Structure 1
Amino acid sequence: MKKLIVGTIVIALAAAMGLSGSVSAQDKYPSKPISGIVPASAGGSTDLMSRAIEKVWPKYSSQPLVVVNKPGGAGVVATEFVVRSKPDGYTLYLGYGSGHDIVMPHLQKMPYDPYKDLVPIARISVHSVVVVTGAKSDFNSLPDMIAWSKKENKPITSSVSMKAGAQDITITAISKAAGVNIVTVPFAGGADAVTALAGGHVMLGAGHPSEVAPHIKAGRFKPLAVALPQRDPSLPNVPTLKELGINVSTWGSVKGVGAPAATPKEVVAYLEATLKKVTEDEEFKKIMADLDQPVMYLNGADFAKFLQEAHADYGKLIKELNITIQ
């Protein structure tokens, strides 16, 4: 009888423990704050976009999204941190699709595979590369500047934010397509590149709308062209390069959200749905418009295709233009 009682107690305890474990395993996601890892310092365009998501996120999720800045290694430090994180949906990569994801793998060995080790959740925005000149420049269009360079047999100088980045690739592609000598001068970031143009040290500049739009609005810069296949929503009156007869278009600076590759599908689906709601929110759209960052949402599947196409196209351009990071 005692054995029967003891056995019954053991079974009951085991059942209770099993039930407890089952409840724990079925805790609804998310049950704690989510970290959004940004591969840049505070104040940059990716950080500002991330802060906008962070602000609006609580409207559509029971748990907050907390932005964490991890600059360093041209974005590699933050991305690797996410890749090595537990794939439970509590560590996200904000800024997926940046140059170190779609360009750098063609130029150097990476400590991870940005496509196999991450799952795309959603694209949020795409920044075009905007070609600008100073307000005091004698040229009001890019074709005029190119015609002058050919006639006078003189090079055009252009500032870019970094060697082998989207801006450098764009300007180099323009140089080849137009058959003109454009010398790119790399700087340590977009702010320095913009300052060089504002100071009259170069003839051209290339930057993202959030970097150059304030100068355009203030009358310091004249916009000449955007490098996207279509016009940039934040600069609707600025023609594309193809509209000007220059057969060049690049993918710009992509800003999306990703997670470690093994993140459960149901968690990815929740995050994708929440981000869609965020991007459709009027407050979010207003913040992004004020930042000159157009909202260009894509779901995870379409974002994955976009990344693969962008990566492949940049690879062709880099090979064709013989671009290196040396």
Structure 2
Amino acid sequence: MPTRSSTRRRLLVRALLSLAAALPLVAALPFSVTRAEDPWPTRPVTMIVPFAAGGSTDVIGRIVAEGLRVELGQPVLVDNRGGAGGTIGTAAIVKAGPDGYIIGMGTASTLAINPAAYKSLGYDVLTGLVPVTNIAAVPNIMSINADVPAADMAAFIRLAKEQAGKMSYASAGIGSVSHLMGEQFKLATGVDIVHVPYRGIGPALNDAVAGQVQVLFDNLPSTLPMVQAGKLKALAVSGPNRVPALPDVPTFTELGLDDLGWMAFFGLVVPEKTPPAVVARLHAAAVKALAQDEVKSRLVAQQAVVIGNRPEEFAAEIRRDLDRMRRAVAAAKIELN
């Protein structure tokens, strides 16, 4: 007959055996739960905008940041790092830790014009950044002072050639989008118009309206009100289609000026070596954000064309625009330090 002590020993052995059998499952549980319930992001994400608050990049960045907050379930905090034409903020994105908690806005200026125009940036946008998606693109516009006696592009080109070297175009500054557009226009048409750089598009726009300069190249949103008010005459817009707000104004492509057909893009980028899973998650969230009615309507109000393409498509667009800007920079002999 078993004793009380032997019975206790048997029960203890059975308990230990049961515990040992359960150990593999218990050991696996924390890892499985972490992977299933604790994906990126688990804390706020910072979006570096390489320009000051209030500009187009900042406005579009904040619109998308709010959409991403909804899709990611975490705040997306905008950090404006303006200065040096966007190079300071872009350098900060390149040098950030590649964990997905620093993302950034990349534009035609920071990813195409600056690499083409600056002698040395200290970073390479093609290898130091991973494109996520082209959020949206804004058409560019070429306009002339209302008193210039030219009703369309053909008439203006004839007039400019007749007055070679006597007409001028305003830009937001050396190496700006408007400067590069002006140089591309000169290359494409053979006209001789003088570049007058300003400290920002605001004063350039004011002098174009006042007639101090005859021509202005700009992003559409800031020039559109002056065109609609009859203070400037629009000759062409960029992009694959005409702008709904200016249905009678042809595109550069329609006029045979393909090199000026590009739009100013605003996209999401992350530092090199950011995990592919994080890039995929951010891309999916951005595409969903761009489908939100509020986000879409606010971007359209900025005259933007909503895109949301794949990372490899955005990368190809960056390379294409960089090549285009390098040609224009070389022809105009632009070199920034």
Q: TM-score range by the shorter chain?
A: 0.7 to 0.9
- Indicate whether 1:280 and 2:287 are aligned: no
Structure 1 residue aligned with 2:223:
212
Counterparts of 2:164 and 2:320, CA distance in 1: 37
- Indicate whether 1:103 and 2:113 are aligned: yes
- Indicate whether 1:56 and 2:67 are aligned: yes
- Indicate whether 1:264 and 2:275 are aligned: yes
Q: 1:150·1:180 contact (CA, 8 Å) conserved in 2?
A: yes
Q: 1:227·1:248 contact (CA, 8 Å) conserved in 2?
A: no
Q: 2:237·2:249 contact (CA, 8 Å) conserved in 1?
A: yes
Counterparts of 2:243 and 2:319, CA distance in 1: 22
- Bigger mean CA deviation after superposition, 166-175 or 301-310: 166-175
Counterparts of 1:233 and 1:61, CA distance in 2: 33
Q: Secondary structure at the match of 2:331?
A: helix
- Indicate whether 1:315 and 2:323 are aligned: no
- From 230, 239, 246, the counterpart of 2:250: 239
CA deviation string 1:271-292 (max 9, x = no partner): 0001001112221111012112
Structure 1 residue aligned with 2:15:
none
Q: Secondary structure at the match of 2:144?
A: strand
Q: 2:185·2:260 contact (CA, 8 Å) conserved in 1?
A: no
- From 118, 141, 144, the counterpart of 1:130: 141
Counterparts of 2:142 and 2:317, CA distance in 1: 23
> What's the CA shift for 1:117?
0.9
Structure 2 residue aligned with 1:221:
232
- Bigger mean CA deviation after superposition, 271-280 or 222-231: 222-231
Counterparts of 2:198 and 2:293, CA distance in 1: 36
- From 290, 305, 312, the counterpart of 1:294: 305
TM-score normalised by length of structure 2: 0.84
Q: 1:39·1:70 contact (CA, 8 Å) conserved in 2?
A: yes
- Bigger mean CA deviation after superposition, 255-264 or 295-304: 295-304
Counterparts of 2:206 and 2:304, CA distance in 1: 21
- From 165, 177, 195, the counterpart of 2:176: 165
Q: Secondary structure at the match of 1:188?
A: coil
Question: 1:143-182 counterparts in 2 under 5 A?
Answer: 143-153=154-164, 155-182=166-193
What's the C-alpha RMSD, in Å, of the aligned pairs? 2.6
Structure number with larger C-alpha Rg: 2
Structure 2 residue aligned with 1:9:
none
- From 113, 116, 125, the counterpart of 2:124: 113
Q: Secondary structure at the match of 1:100?
A: helix
Q: Tell me, which stretches of 5 or more residues in structure 2 are unaligned?
A: 1-24
Counterparts of 1:84 and 1:269, CA distance in 2: 21
- Indicate whether 1:39 and 2:50 are aligned: yes
Structure 2 residue aligned with 1:10:
none
> What's the CA shift for 1:311?
1.0
Q: 2:165·2:194 contact (CA, 8 Å) conserved in 1?
A: no
> What's the CA shift for 1:168?
1.5
CA deviation string 1:179-208 (max 9, x = no partner): 221111111112221122122211111110
Q: 1:156·1:203 contact (CA, 8 Å) conserved in 2?
A: yes
Q: 1:170·1:250 contact (CA, 8 Å) conserved in 2?
A: no
Counterparts of 1:167 and 1:238, CA distance in 2: 19
Q: 2:221·2:302 contact (CA, 8 Å) conserved in 1?
A: yes
Counterparts of 1:264 and 1:85, CA distance in 2: 13
Q: Tell me, which stretches of 5 or more residues in structure 1 are unaligned?
A: 1-14
- Indicate whether 1:81 and 2:124 are aligned: no
Structure 2 residue aligned with 1:7:
none
Distance 1:260 1:176, change over 3 A: closer
Counterparts of 2:128 and 2:238, CA distance in 1: 29
Q: Secondary structure at the match of 2:126?
A: coil
Q: 1:126·1:293 contact (CA, 8 Å) conserved in 2?
A: yes
Q: 1:213·1:292 contact (CA, 8 Å) conserved in 2?
A: no
Counterparts of 1:90 and 1:172, CA distance in 2: 39
Q: 1:157·1:203 contact (CA, 8 Å) conserved in 2?
A: yes
- Bigger mean CA deviation after superposition, 115-124 or 173-182: 173-182
- Larger % of helix: which? 2
Counterparts of 2:299 and 2:176, CA distance in 1: 23
Distance 1:81 1:24, change over 3 A: farther
Counterparts of 1:167 and 1:41, CA distance in 2: 18
> What's the CA shift for 1:23?
6.1
